[in-house]
């Protein structure tokens, strides 16, 4: 028993030692991890701050480079510029950039122009070849053909600064590009950098901007603390501007913090390690489960087929997914955890995210915030990219608001298309009923008139002659001929109305074949003049009746086409021109091209708005149903004509201007002598 107790005691001690060692190792690891996290967080903060500072410097230097490019362009346009002209150009360029010390131009590498003139006139005539430190940068600019920035360098007029150089070329008499010289800008890099970041460098942060010498490769400090670049592991960022070789260094004042034993974290870890063994493992398990649950939640949120956002009771953003930021691309910069919903909306208003708010921004913002504060079901929202999202917001008992956004653009488009199709079909049926009723009324009326002899004046006159002068052959013959003429005119009217009815029926049947894909063509070699003359003659009577001049300018050409279907197309185009032209002329022209023959129908009618030019070829579409009713037609003619042209390997186009008339063109494949082929072969 004693032995057993000793063994158990020994085992317990060993376990206690092992547990102590394990806790000590864990505490050490935790201390190192916390310190590494502190360093990483601090380094990330410094990096983000450095990126912002670097961007400010880049913007300042890019402004200098832009000034140099403007100067080079001016010299290229006017290589013989005088000093006075040069000063005017230079003064305009440097007006808003105080860091620029001077602008110079070296024709054939000799300084010939300078601004300002008085402080720099002593350098005029200097040959850059005599200054090796500067010649290297000049040669590099000429070799690359781009802006090259060097600094710091000793200036020929004295002092230290940075120089940007840009090769200027001109076109000689032979039309070849040759080197005119070099344009240069001298600027105070320290002043430029100080102007960009002097007032915004965070306290406790040491920064330095350096440049690598083009000849010796050494780092030269342009701005800031020279010791930052040489400190232990500073944040280093390169610059992204044309022709420069600069670097930005940053580090905390006093260096990166050390993992001292006296640090409060280490003291707390050492003091609580033995007392919190169980708590540590329990907490670890809880945290592991918490992290797992949080990760699962985040994955579920990202898997949502739409935008997801969650706001707290105060309107601050708690969580969101990638789809949410993609939907609101113009206010993406404002979408972050902790951002207020109102700030996100205002960012979107500034950037034009919400088209429906244009012109009424304040009113729209107030309405949207009211909906957010008191959700009332679903509503749709139009975005700047033309997409539509359906927003559903629900507020929980604790005040948290969950918002789901689903892209319903396709649904909206389908709904709009269905409504447009329904309107077009209704309008088509109205027009069709009118078109059918008119000839049917004519046929019915004249048929009744013919069937009622006493109702026609010529019939009554014939009856009167037969009663009063039955023995007068001449009077009887005249009365009979008048009666027969009246019947012929009546039957001609009935025939024209029947032909119009037949045309409407055939047009609808053709459209049905097109929709079913059963309409076919039989191409053959055709003389264009014959096709045009036949269609023109068929429309000439109506044109003359309206007092419209119908002109034809038909060049000799042959096409591979179906004569019946081509006649149908031309009849539609010429008939429409005559139909909608109240005064003036209609001209039909034949223009042979390389591989096609173009038949153009030009009228002096009312014209068509540019927004309607593509829609007029859609089935059931009518620009103005009232004008269609006045002129006649179903609105299917152009849709059928375009399909018939396409089946023959051709096309129909249109050019028009309101108040100036229209020009429709039919293009058909051209047929050459000895060649016979089907369209599409």
- Domain 520-669, second-level architecture: 2-Layer Sandwich (3.30)
Neighbours of 116 (CB within 10 A): 14
Q: Which residue has the higher pLDDT, 105 or 517?
A: 105
Q: What is the pLDDT of residue 645?
A: 87
Q: Where are the alpha helices (DSSP H) in 596-636?
A: 625-631
Q: What is the pLDDT of residue 217?
A: 66
Q: Find the mean pLDDT for residues 485-492.
A: 70
Answer whether 65-188 and 307-407 agree in fold: yes
Question: What is the topology classification, in CATH, of domain 419-513?
Answer: Helix Hairpins (1.10.287)
Q: What is the pLDDT of residue 677?
A: 36
d(CA 678, CA 681): 6
**β-sheet with 205-212: strand ranges across:** 219-224, 205-212, 246-252, 235-238
Cis, bond preceding 152 (omega within 30 deg of 0): yes
**Global pTM value:** 0.39
DSSP letter, residue 670:
B
Q: Which residue has the higher pLDDT, 244 or 628?
A: 244
d(CA 465, CA 459): 10
Question: Angle 184-188-192 (CA atoms, 0-180°, nearest 5)?
Answer: 110
Angle of helix 2-77 relative to helix 189-197, nearest 10 degrees? Answer: 120
Domain locations along the chain: 65-188, 275-304, 307-407, 419-513, 520-669
Q: How far, in Å, are 108, 110, 142, 168, 187 from residue 184 at the CA level? A: 13, 12, 12, 10, 10
* CA-based nearest residue to 561, from 640, 639, 650: 650
d(CA 494, CA 447): 8
Neighbours of 345 (CB within 10 A): 22
Please report, for the chain, how many H helices and E strands are present, in that order: 18, 21
pLDDT level of residue 362 (50, 70, 90 thresholds): very high
| Longest alpha-carbon distance in the chain | 167
* CA-based nearest residue to 642, from 664, 663, 622, 662: 664
For residues 150 and 210, the answer to whether their CB atoms sit within 8 Å is no
pLDDT level of residue 11 (50, 70, 90 thresholds): very low
Q: Find the mean pLDDT for residues 494-500.
A: 65
The region of weakest confidence among 200-204, 503-507, 578-582 is 503-507
Indicate if the pLDDT at residue 105 is higher than 60.
yes
d(CA 93, CA 71): 8
Q: What is the pLDDT of residue 239?
A: 80
pLDDT level of residue 680 (50, 70, 90 thresholds): very low
Cα end-to-end span (Å), the chain: 107
For residues 215 and 84, the answer to whether their CB atoms sit within 8 Å is no
Q: What is the pLDDT of residue 681?
A: 35
Indicate if the pLDDT at residue 633 is higher than 60.
no
Q: What is the pLDDT of residue 8?
A: 43
pLDDT level of residue 322 (50, 70, 90 thresholds): confident
pLDDT digits (tens, 9 = 90+) for 141-164: 888 888 888 877 776 666 778 888
Q: What is the pLDDT of residue 180?
A: 93
Domain 65-188 top-level CATH class: alpha beta
d(CA 182, CA 79): 11
pLDDT level of residue 635 (50, 70, 90 thresholds): low
pLDDT level of residue 131 (50, 70, 90 thresholds): confident
Q: Find the mean pLDDT for residues 224-253.
A: 79
Q: What is the pLDDT of residue 9?
A: 43
Q: Which residue has the higher pLDDT, 450 or 341?
A: 341
Q: What is the pLDDT of residue 460?
A: 66
pLDDT digits (tens, 9 = 90+) for 555-601: 788 888 888 888 888 888 888 888 888 888 899 999 888 888 999 99
pLDDT level of residue 311 (50, 70, 90 thresholds): very high
The region of weakest confidence among 44-48, 188-192, 397-401, 472-476 is 472-476
Q: Is 408 helix (H, G, I), strand (E, B) or coil?
A: coil
Question: Angle 542-545-548 (CA atoms, 0-180°, nearest 5)?
Answer: 85
What CATH number does domain 307-407 carry, 3.20.10.10, 3.30.450.20, 3.40.50.920, 1.10.8.60?
3.30.450.20
Q: What is the pLDDT of residue 183?
A: 93
pLDDT digits (tens, 9 = 90+) for 256-273: 888 877 778 777 887 776
Q: What is the pLDDT of residue 316?
A: 93
For residues 538 and 571, the answer to whether their CB atoms sit within 8 Å is yes
Indicate if the pLDDT at residue 97 is higher than 90.
no
**β-sheet with 388-395: strand ranges across:** 317-320, 307-311, 401-407, 388-395, 378-382
3-state SS, 344-404, equals HHHHHHHCCCCHHHCCCHHHHHHHHHHHHHCCCCEEEEECCCCCEEEEEEEECCCCCEEEE
Indicate if the pLDDT at residue 94 is higher than 90.
no
To the nearest 5 percent, what fractions of the chain are helix, strand and coil?
55, 20, 25
pLDDT digits (tens, 9 = 90+) for 27-84: 778 887 888 888 888 889 889 988 888 888 888 888 888 888 999 999 999 999 999 9
pLDDT level of residue 433 (50, 70, 90 thresholds): low
Most confident of 27-31, 43-47, 279-283, 433-437: 43-47
d(CA 368, CA 375): 10
The region of weakest confidence among 288-302, 529-543, 605-619 is 288-302
For residues 164 and 184, the answer to whether their CB atoms sit within 8 Å is yes
Enumerate residues 6+ apart whose C-beta is below 8 A from 533.
552, 554
Per-residue buried b or exposed e for 611-620, using 16+ beta carbons within 10 Å of the residue's own CB? ebeeebebbb
Averaged confidence pLDDT in the chain: 79
Q: What is the pLDDT of residue 341?
A: 92
Enumerate residues 6+ apart whose C-beta is below 8 A from 26.
273, 280
Q: What is the pLDDT of residue 660?
A: 84
């Amino acid at each position: 028993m004693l032995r057993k107790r000793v063994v158990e005691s020994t085992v317990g001690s060993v376990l206690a030692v092992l547990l102590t060692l394990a806790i000590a190792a864990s505490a050490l690891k935790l201390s190192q991890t916390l310190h590494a996290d502190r360093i990483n967080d601090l380094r990330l903060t410094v990096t983000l701050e450095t990126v912002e500072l670097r961007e400010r410097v880049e913007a300042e230097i890019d402004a200098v480079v832009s000034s140099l490019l403007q100067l080079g362009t001016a010299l290229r346009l006017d290589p013989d510029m005088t000093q006075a002209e040069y000063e005017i150009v230079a003064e305009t360029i440097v007006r808003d950039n105080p860091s620029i010390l001077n602008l110079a131009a070296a024709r054939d590498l000799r300084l010939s122009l300078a601004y300002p003139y008085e402080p720099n006139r002593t350098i005029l005539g200097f040959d850059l070849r005599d200054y090796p430190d500067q010649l290297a940068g000049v040669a590099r600019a000429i070799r690359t053909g781009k802006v090259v920035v060097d600094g710091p360098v000793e200036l020929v007029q004295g002092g230290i600064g940075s120089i940007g150089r840009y090769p200027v070329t001109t076109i000689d008499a032979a039309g070849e590009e040759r080197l005119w010289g070099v344009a240069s800008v001298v600027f105070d890099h320290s002043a430029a950098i100080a102007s960009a970041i002097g007032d915004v460098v965070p306290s406790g942060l040491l920064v330095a901007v350096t440049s690598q010498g083009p000849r010796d490769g050494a780092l030269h400090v342009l701005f800031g603390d020279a010791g930052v670049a040489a400190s232990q592991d500073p944040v280093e960022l390169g610059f992204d501007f044309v022709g420069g070789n600069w670097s930005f260094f940053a580090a905390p004042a006093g260096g990166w913090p050390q993992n001292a034993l006296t640090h409060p974290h280490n003291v707390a870890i050492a003091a609580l390690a033995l007392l919190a063994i169980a708590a540590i493992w329990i907490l670890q398990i809880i945290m592991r489960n918490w992290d797992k649950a949080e990760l699962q939640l985040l994955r579920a949120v990202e898997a949502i087929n739409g935008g997801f956002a969650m706001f707290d009771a105060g309107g601050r953003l708690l969580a969101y997914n990638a789809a949410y930021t993609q939907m609101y691309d113009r206010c993406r910069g404002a979408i972050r955890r902790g951002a207020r919903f109102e700030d996100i909306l205002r960012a979107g208003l500034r950037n034009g995210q919400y088209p429906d708010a244009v012109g009424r921004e304040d009113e729209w913002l107030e309405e949207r915030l009211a909906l957010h504060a008191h959700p009332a079901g679903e509503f749709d929202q139009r975005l700047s990219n033309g997409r539509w999202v359906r927003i559903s917001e629900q507020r929980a008992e604790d005040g948290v608001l969950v918002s789901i956004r689903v892209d319903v653009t396709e649904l909206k488009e389908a709904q709009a298309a269905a409504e447009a199709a329904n309107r077009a079909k209704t309008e088509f049926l109205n027009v069709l009923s009118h078109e059918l009723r008119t000839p049917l009324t004519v046929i019915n009326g004249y048929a009744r008139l013919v069937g009622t002899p006493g109702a026609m004046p010529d019939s009554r006159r014939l009856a009167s002659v037969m009663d009063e002068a039955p023995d007068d052959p001449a009077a009887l013959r005249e009365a009979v001929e008048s009666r027969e003429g009246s019947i012929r005119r009546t039957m001609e009217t009935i025939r024209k109305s029947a032909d119009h009815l037949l045309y409407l029926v055939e047009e609808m049947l053709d459209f049905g074949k097109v929709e079913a894909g059963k309409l076919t063509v039989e191409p053959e070699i055709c003389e264009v003049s014959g096709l045009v003359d036949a269609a023109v003659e068929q429309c000439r009577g109506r044109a003359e009746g309206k007092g419209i001049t119908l002109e034809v300018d038909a060049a000799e050409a042959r096409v591979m086409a179906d004569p019946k279907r081509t006649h149908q197309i031309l009849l539609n185009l010429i008939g429409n021109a005559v139909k909608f032209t109240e005064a003036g002329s209609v001209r039909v022209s034949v223009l042979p091209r390389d591989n096609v023959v173009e038949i153009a129908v030009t009228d002096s009618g009312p014209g068509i708005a540019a927004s309607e030019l593509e829609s007029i070829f859609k089935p059931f579409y009518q620009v103005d149903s009232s004008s269609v009713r006045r002129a006649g037609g179903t609105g299917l003619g152009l849709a059928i004509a375009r399909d018939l042209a396409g089946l023959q390997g051709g096309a129909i186009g249109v050019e028009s201007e309101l108040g100036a008339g229209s020009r429709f063109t039919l293009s058909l494949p051209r047929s050459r002598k000895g060649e016979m082929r089907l369209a599409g072969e």
